[in-house]
Chain A
Amino acid sequence: MPKPFEIVVISGKGGTGKTVFTSCLASIFQDKVVADCDVDAPDLHLLFTPLVKRQEVFPGTPHASIDPDKCTSCDRCFQVCRFGAVVPPESGTGTIYRIDDLACEGCAVCEWTCPAGAISMVAGPSGKWFVSDTRFGTLVHAKLGVAQENSGKLVTVVREEARKAAIEKGCRFVVIDGPPGIGCPVIASVAGADLAVAVTEPTLSGVHDLERVLELTSHFGVKTGVIINKFDLNGEIVLKMEQFLESAGIPLLGKIRFDTTVNRAIGEGRTVIEYSESEVAREMTLAAEETIALANQGLDVKASTESRGD
Chain B
Amino acid sequence: MISKIVVASGKGGTGKTTVAVALALALRDEMDRLQFMDCDVEEPNGAVLLQPAIDGDVPVALKTPKVDPSRCTGCEKCREVCAFNAIAVVNKQAMVFDNLCHSCGGCILACPEDAISEADRVIGRIEFGHRDNIEFLSGVLNVSEAMATPIIRALKAKGNDEMLTIIDAPPGTACPVIATVKDCDYCILVTEPTPFGIYDLDLMFQVVSELGIPAGIVVNKDDGANLDIDAYAGDNNIPILMRIPLKLEIAVHYSKGVPLTQVDEHWDAEFRNLYGKVRSELCQSPSR
Measuring CB to CB, which residues of chain A are less than 8 angstroms from any residue of chain B? 11-16, 19, 38-41, 43, 46, 61, 80, 82-83, 102, 105-109, 112-113, 144, 146-152, 179-187, 201-206, 208-209, 212, 215-216, 219-220, 230, 233-234, 237, 258, 260, 263, 266-267, 269
6 shortest interchain CB distances as A-B pairs: A14-B12, A15-B13, A107-B104, A181-B42, A203-B255, A234-B255
Judged by DSSP, the binding face of B is loop
* Complex Cα spacing A258 to B110, Å: 58
* Closest chain A residue to B203, Cβ basis: A41
Q: Which of B141, B171, B210 is in CB contact (< 8 Å) with A147?
A: B210
If A43-B199, A212-B43 touch, whether A180 touches B172 (CB-CB below 8 Å) is: yes
* Complex Cα spacing A215 to B223, Å: 36
Q: Are A106 and B43 in contact (CB-based, < 8 A)?
A: no
Q: Which of B11, B102, B146, B173 is in CB contact (< 8 Å) with A144?
A: B173
* A82 proximity list for chain B (CB < 8 A): 103-105
Decide if B174 is an interface residue (CB 8 Å cutoff): yes
Q: Are B174 and A148 in contact (CB-based, < 8 A)?
A: yes
Decide if B58 is an interface residue (CB 8 Å cutoff): no
Q: Are B48 and A105 in contact (CB-based, < 8 A)?
A: no
* Complex Cα spacing A148 to B207, Å: 9
Q: Which of A41, A108, A151, A152 is in CB contact (< 8 Å) with B10?
A: A41
Q: Which of A112, A150, A203, A233 is in CB contact (< 8 Å) with B110?
A: A112
* Complex Cα spacing A12 to B144, Å: 13
Decide if B59 is an interface residue (CB 8 Å cutoff): no
* Closest chain A residue to B15, Cβ basis: A15
In B1-34, the 8 Å CB interface with A consists of: 10-14, 17
Which of B127-135, B229-237, B246-254, B272-280 touches A?
B246-254
Decide if B65 is an interface residue (CB 8 Å cutoff): no
Say how far B125's CB is from chain A's closest CB, in angstroms. 14
* Complex Cα spacing A172 to B145, Å: 31
Measuring CB to CB, which residues of chain B are less than 8 angstroms from any residue of chain A? 10-14, 17, 40-43, 45, 48-49, 81, 83-84, 102-106, 109-110, 141, 143-148, 170-178, 182, 193-196, 199-200, 203, 206-207, 210-211, 223, 226, 246, 248, 251-252, 254-257
Q: Are B42 and A183 in contact (CB-based, < 8 A)?
A: yes
Judged by DSSP, the binding face of A is loop
* B256 proximity list for chain A (CB < 8 A): 203-204, 234
* B104 proximity list for chain A (CB < 8 A): 82-83, 105, 107, 109
Q: Are B251 and A41 in contact (CB-based, < 8 A)?
A: no
* Complex Cα spacing A233 to B175, Å: 33
Q: Are B48 and A184 in contact (CB-based, < 8 A)?
A: no
* Complex Cα spacing A43 to B192, Å: 14
Say how far B205's CB is from chain A's closest CB, in angstroms. 10
Q: Which of B49, B83, B146, B251 is in CB contact (< 8 Å) with A107?
A: B83
* Closest chain A residue to B47, Cβ basis: A208
If A106-B83, A258-B251 touch, whether A80 touches B172 (CB-CB below 8 Å) is: no
What would 25 A/B residue contacts be, using CB atoms closer than 8 Å?
A: A12-B43, A13-B12, A38-B172, A39-B174, A40-B174, A46-B196, A46-B199, A80-B109, A102-B178, A102-B182, A105-B102, A108-B81, A108-B83, A108-B106, A109-B105, A112-B81, A181-B171, A184-B146, A184-B175, A185-B174, A204-B257, A205-B257, A215-B144, A230-B251, A267-B195
If A204-B256, A233-B255 touch, whether A184 touches B147 (CB-CB below 8 Å) is: yes
* Complex Cα spacing A1 to B140, Å: 42
* Complex Cα spacing A15 to B223, Å: 17
Q: Are B148 and A112 in contact (CB-based, < 8 A)?
A: no
Q: A14-B14, A41-B172, A82-B104 are in contact. List 13 more A-B contacts (CB 8 A).
A: A15-B13, A15-B14, A43-B200, A80-B109, A82-B103, A113-B109, A148-B174, A149-B174, A151-B174, A233-B248, A233-B252, A266-B194, A266-B196
* Closest chain A residue to B82, Cβ basis: A107
* A219 proximity list for chain B (CB < 8 A): 143-144
* B182 proximity list for chain A (CB < 8 A): 102
* Complex Cα spacing A11 to B43, Å: 10
* Complex Cα spacing A38 to B200, Å: 11
Q: Are B171 and A180 in contact (CB-based, < 8 A)?
A: yes
* Complex Cα spacing A234 to B246, Å: 17
* Closest chain A residue to B257, Cβ basis: A204
* A46 proximity list for chain B (CB < 8 A): 195-196, 199
* Complex Cα spacing A181 to B251, Å: 21
Say how far B139's CB is from chain A's closest CB, in angstroms. 11
* Closest chain B residue to A204, Cβ basis: B257
- Of the listed residues B43, B81, B145, B252, the one surrounded by the most CB atoms of chain A closer than 10 A to its CB is B43
